[in-house]
Amino acid sequence: MGTVQLVVFERFSSGKAFGDNVVPWARNFVTKFQPQPHTSQSPDFTRLKQVFSQLSASSKMSSELWQNVPLAPPDSIFKLTAAYKADTFDKKVNLGVGAYRDDNDKPWILPVVRKAEEIILNTPALDHEYLPITGLPEFTIAAAKLILGPDSSAIAEGRVTTVQTISGTGANHLGALFLSRFYQWSGDKKEVYLSDPTWANHPAIFNNVGIASLYYPYYDPKTIGLNFDGFVSSLKSAPSGSVFLIHACAHNPTGVDPTRDQWDAIAKIMLDKGHYGFFDCAYQGFASGDLDNDAWAVRFFVDKGVNMLICQSFAKNAGLYGERVGALHVVSPNKEAAERVKSQLSVLQRSEISNPPSYGARIRDISTMAGRIIDMRKELFKILTEELHTPGNWDHIVNQIGMFSFTGITPEQSKALTEKAHIYLTVNGRISMTGLNRNNIRYFATSLDAAVRGTL
């Protein structure tokens, strides 16, 4: 058989050539390359004809197999983006998709993410092995602390199960799937209360796992604000133990969040009625510019003891849209329950994605560290210069980059810090910025100030 025919045979017999586009191509091919020295009765050609006729039959079957599949409408947001991209008008503006753009309308990569990428590229030990089923441990721990707070008692007590997910959408899906399987639903009905309006994907995600959507009033067009009374009356009238999906901050699509007093009232009713809080947090940092501030409601509900889970996305606040990095945190009443929850989340995750992707999680993890170092530099500089007016010039604290900082203090001052203030640093005055955090930075700054003044 000629080489060309062999290729055709291989493609057909391996099943790679199925489909409407290929069959006309094969038809032409058979006509064109009909072997001249042989008759059309030759064994090669007869076999080719047999394969071709089988293919025609299966192609007909496959076109009929899906005739009952209705054409779904395109996703409205992504349709807008496609229309925007196709538009050639020079002053075009895209206000549809929630993805940050710079002043030139270009996607923006956070400098800290760039730095993290460099570190990953230059660290050969970061291989392409599978991650554990529940994700990169360094990432899941950091993600939990970011949303629940570094001093979260729920984390300290081992009551939080965190699983790395395919961004916020994956967290919503895994959370919904987990509830669908394991929540103590009253009766046969599985229902979730969504805010009216909500992110368009919410009802679809719950529908996929057999949970029907009901809506609670949220937005009041008259006040362009929160319909607090409507929200509260839904919470009160819903059967005990209902599941309420709550946007943790920067509500999508209204941009309207409850005040702290209103959150307090909502938490009280949820506790009274034994409702379950399905918190979706896709915009931590976007409401107030402060990650802790935006996590206030989540932390408050956890402290109050509301049964809840949290879906966390790093698409927006880290600009990692396409890397699909997020987490699901389920807060349980005790450590033993958290372990059982983890075992079942692992089973679900295994059957859906096996293991989450590593790249985005690594970037996020390294970025978190780098981001905190930058914050600590700024904070230390501010305390020394603006509050304590420590003698000397401290510009280097903010101008230096990376993990370490040379404070510029003398060996005697370094020793005094260690011996009298229990602050451990090398005698040359070098400090590792990673050792500083919001809780100890003031102590360090005041001790450093005293060491420099010789009053320690």
Question: Whole-number minimum distance, CB 324 to ligand PLP, in Å?
Answer: 7
Nearer to ligand PLP, 247 or 377 (CB): 247
Which 381-420 residues touch ligand PLP, going by CB under 6 A?
none
For ligand PLP, how many residues bind (rule: CB under 6 A)? 13
Q: Which residues contact 442 (CB under 8 A, 6 or more apart)?
A: 383
Nearer to ligand PLP, 203 or 326 (CB): 326
Question: Whole-number minimum distance, CB 309 to ligand PLP, in Å?
Answer: 13
Please answer whether residues 8 and 26 qualify as being in contact, where contact means their C-beta atoms are separated by less than 8 angstroms.
Answer: yes
In the list 5, 134, 167, 367, the residue contacting ligand PLP (rule: CB under 6 A) is 167
Please answer whether residues 294 and 286 qualify as being in contact, where contact means their C-beta atoms are separated by less than 8 angstroms.
Answer: yes
Question: One-letter amino acid identity for 8?
Answer: V
Which 219-248 residues touch ligand PLP, going by CB under 6 A?
247
Q: Does 294 bind ligand PLP (CB under 6 A)?
A: no
Annotated catalytic sites, by residue? 199, 280, 316
Nearer to ligand PLP, 148 or 282 (CB): 282
Give the 3-state secondary structure of the chain. CCHHHHHHHHHHHCCCCCCCCHHHHHHHHHHHCCCCCCCCCCHHHHHHHHHHHHHHHHHHHHHHHCCCCCCCCCCHHHHHHHHHHHCCCCCCCCCCCCCCECCCCCECCCHHHHHHHHHHHCCCCCCCCCCCCCCCHHHHHHHHHHHHCCCCHHHHCCCEEEEEEEHHHHHHHHHHHHHHHHCCCCCCCCEEEEEECCCCHHHHHHHHCCCEEEEEECEECCCCEECHHHHHHHHHHCCCCCEEEEECCCCCCCCCCCCHHHHHHHHHHHHHHCCEEEEEECCCCCCCCCHHHHCHHHHHHHHHCCCEEEEEECCCCCCCHHHCEEEEEEECCCHHHHHHHHHHHHHHHHHHCCCCCHHHHHHHHHHHHHHHHHHHHHHHHHHHHHHCCCCCCCHHHHHCCCCEEECCCCHHHHHHHHHHHCCCCCCCCEEEHHHCCCCCHHHHHHHHHHHHHCCC
Q: Which stretch binds ligand PLP (CB under 6 A): 64-72, 147-155, 162-170, 184-192?
A: 162-170
Q: Which stretch binds ligand PLP (CB under 6 A): 168-176, 188-196, 208-216, 373-381?
A: 168-176
How far apart are alpha carbons 131 and 137 in whole angstroms? 9
Question: Whole-number minimum distance, CB 449 to ligand PLP, in Å?
Answer: 43
Question: Whole-number minimum distance, CB 247 to ligand PLP, in Å?
Answer: 6
How far apart are alpha carbons 243 and 237 in whole angstroms? 13
Q: Residues 351, 356, 358, CA angle at the centre, nearest 5°?
A: 155
Q: Does 193 bind ligand PLP (CB under 6 A)?
A: no
In the list 257, 280, 294, 323, the residue contacting ligand PLP (rule: CB under 6 A) is 280
Q: Which stretch binds ligand PLP (CB under 6 A): 127-135, 163-171, 366-374, 379-387?
A: 163-171
Question: Whole-number minimum distance, CB 89 to ligand PLP, in Å?
Answer: 26
Q: Does 315 bind ligand PLP (CB under 6 A)?
A: yes
Q: Does 317 bind ligand PLP (CB under 6 A)?
A: no
Q: Which stretch binds ligand PLP (CB under 6 A): 161-169, 238-246, 270-278, 396-404?
A: 161-169
Residue with tokens 């196709």: 86
Please give the structure tokens belonging to residue 27: 């038809």
Nearer to ligand PLP, 179 or 433 (CB): 179
In the list 199, 228, 231, 444, the residue contacting ligand PLP (rule: CB under 6 A) is 199
Q: Does 98 bind ligand PLP (CB under 6 A)?
A: yes
x/- contact string, 58-97, with ligand PLP (CB under 6 A)? ----------------------------------------
Q: Does 313 bind ligand PLP (CB under 6 A)?
A: yes
Nearer to ligand PLP, 171 or 383 (CB): 171
Nearer to ligand PLP, 280 or 449 (CB): 280
Question: Whole-number minimum distance, CB 255 to ligand PLP, in Å?
Answer: 11
In the list 135, 149, 168, 356, the residue contacting ligand PLP (rule: CB under 6 A) is 168
User: Considering Cα of 117, then 119, then 125, then 131, what sign does the dihedral take?
Assistant: negative
Question: Whole-number minimum distance, CB 44 to ligand PLP, in Å?
Answer: 53
Q: Does 169 bind ligand PLP (CB under 6 A)?
A: yes
Question: One-letter amino acid identity for 3?
Answer: T
How far apart are alpha carbons 325 and 319 in whole angstroms? 10
Question: Whole-number minimum distance, CB 150 to ligand PLP, in Å?
Answer: 23
Q: Does 249 bind ligand PLP (CB under 6 A)?
A: no
In the list 8, 131, 154, 282, the residue contacting ligand PLP (rule: CB under 6 A) is 282
Q: Does 252 bind ligand PLP (CB under 6 A)?
A: yes
Residue ranges that bind ligand PLP, judged by CB under 6 A = 98, 167-169, 172, 199, 247, 252, 280, 282, 313, 315, 326
